[in-house]
A = this chain, B = another copy of it.
Amino acid sequence: MTAVLDVPSGAPARIGTPEPGDPRLARLSLNQRTTAHWSLREAVDGAVAAGLPAIGLWREPVAEVGVDTARRWVDDAGLRVSSLCRGGFFTASDPAARATAHEDNLRAIDEAAALGTRALVLVPGGLPAGDKDLTGARARAAEAIAALVPHAVERGVTLGIEPMNPIYAADRGVVSTLAQALEIAESFAPHEVGVIADTFHLWWEPGVHARIAAAGERILSYQICDWITPLPADTLLARGMMGDGHVDFPAFTKAVAASGYTGDVEVEIFHADVWAAPGDQVLATLARRYVELVEPYL
């Protein structure tokens, strides 16, 4: 059950919506997809109105207005760009398709640099149609990342591998655990390749708290949303509001803090009810949930 406007059941007391300027919001970032119906302009204005200091951008809405305009808007609003979503999708078996993906990822690196963010989120992609060789697809993802490193270094951008919940292993992300993402990343320097720690994707992984804590500066971005049950019919929309599901945010957040991570915390929710709610109400709720469940443990 998503209850967008309520504090989670079991909360010790109702927490008021933090006001702009509240120091507890100093690391909270709105990932654009959380308010998917908002244009970039609306998202920038909404983040500012709610007192959030940072925003996680997506390439598609940025492309609608152009990178230069997007950069000017976020700069003028005084927002940090916590990450750019997303590169990746480079598991094709056809070499021509892989070359096209490589070119597109070079552009994504350029866009991240132009937007002033260090973190480019990479979603590896799934199995090619009819292909059941998961090991091969994973090897191609690792090769594709390696091929991007020189250009990323040149632009001052760190490639962030996003391990994805195994629910998406077939059709979206063949890197399925933090352990696997770190194994790929560790062939490179931390400023070259890092990992994205996303609660939805990793909450279930045995030993994940210790693994995050030990990952140090490899943790490039911390993204949060909840694992809810029953899963919605469209599993792409299964990422719920913090507190509505099963994730232990205090424990996960303590692990992220133990890694030494000092960056922003991006709220990235994919959920039909959240997307249908007015954006300002969504931001008020996520700020309350963040202040209750995450911020005290950072």
Contacts and interface: CB of A to CB of B under 8 A. Distances in A.
Max chain B C-beta neighbours (<10 A), residue from A127, A167, A180:
A167
Contact of A169 (B10, B130, B204, B209): B204
A179 to B, nearest CB: 7
Interface in A136-189: 138, 165-167, 169-171, 176-177, 179-180
Given A176-B204, A177-B206, A180-B206, A170 B245 contact: yes
Given A127-B246, A130-B10, A171 B229 contact: yes
A248 interface: yes
A231 interface: yes
A186 to B, nearest CB: 14
A246 to B, nearest CB: 4
A134 B245 contact: no
A233 interface: yes
A247 B177 CA distance: 18
A147 to B, nearest CB: 21
Q: How large is the interface on A (under 10, 10 to 19, 20 to 34, 35 or more residues)?
A: 35 or more
A205 interface: yes
Given A166-B204, A167-B167, A169-B204, A132 B229 contact: no
Contact of A246 (B132, B206, B227): B132
A22 interface: no
B166 A167 contact: yes
Contact of A227 (B170, B205, B233, B245): B170
Interface string A51-89: 000000000000000000000000000000000000000
A287 to B, nearest CB: 21
B166 A133 contact: no
A261 interface: no
Contacts of A251: 132-133, 135
Interface in A105-138: 127, 130, 132-135, 138
A172 to B, nearest CB: 9
A87 to B, nearest CB: 22
A58 to B, nearest CB: 23
24 contacts: A9-B130, A127-B246, A132-B246, A132-B247, A132-B248, A133-B248, A133-B251, A134-B203, A134-B246, A135-B209, A165-B167, A166-B166, A166-B204, A167-B231, A169-B204, A169-B227, A170-B246, A176-B204, A176-B205, A176-B206, A177-B206, A179-B206, A231-B231, A235-B235
Given A135-B209, A166-B204, A180-B206, 19 more contacts: A132-B246, A132-B247, A132-B248, A132-B251, A134-B248, A135-B251, A138-B206, A165-B166, A166-B166, A166-B167, A167-B167, A167-B231, A169-B203, A170-B229, A170-B245, A179-B206, A230-B235, A231-B231, A235-B235
